[in-house]
Amino acid sequence: MIRSTGTLTSPKASQYLQQLCKHFAHKVEVSFDAHQGHVTLGSGPVALAATEHRLAITVTAPDLAALPQARQVIDKHLAIFAHREGFTTLDWDEPVEA
């Protein structure tokens, strides 16, 4: 398994975490509160963490080939909620073995 963490600096970090989790809950298993969330996507688990001004999302994929799609799913859905901030993509770190 490979994982990568993307971050967004925003005063709406907790709001975005909750919106993403509520959105995904219509199709997959989700648990969340105002500061953390867990989503079970087809590619693997996703962990979300929000502080006052920072959202961090860690995606897990079975291999390097599947990782871009997992990142894209998160970026695409977050763009729906964060478009007013000019959001396009999270600042993703280098992938590491999980």
What are the structural domain ranges in the chain?
2-97
Model pTM? 0.95
**Scanning the structure block, which residue is given the tokens 């770190």?**
93
- Confidence label for 66 from pLDDT (cuts 50, 70 and 90): very high
- Confidence label for 49 from pLDDT (cuts 50, 70 and 90): very high
CATH placement of domain 2-97: 3.30.310.50
Count the neighbouring beta carbons within 10 Å of the beta carbon of residue 42: 11
* Single-letter code of the amino acid located at 72: Q
41 in helix, strand or coil?
A: strand
72: which residues sit within 8 A by CB, 6+ positions away?
none
Q: How much is the average pLDDT of 8-33?
A: 96
**Scanning the structure block, which residue is given the tokens 């970090």?**
13
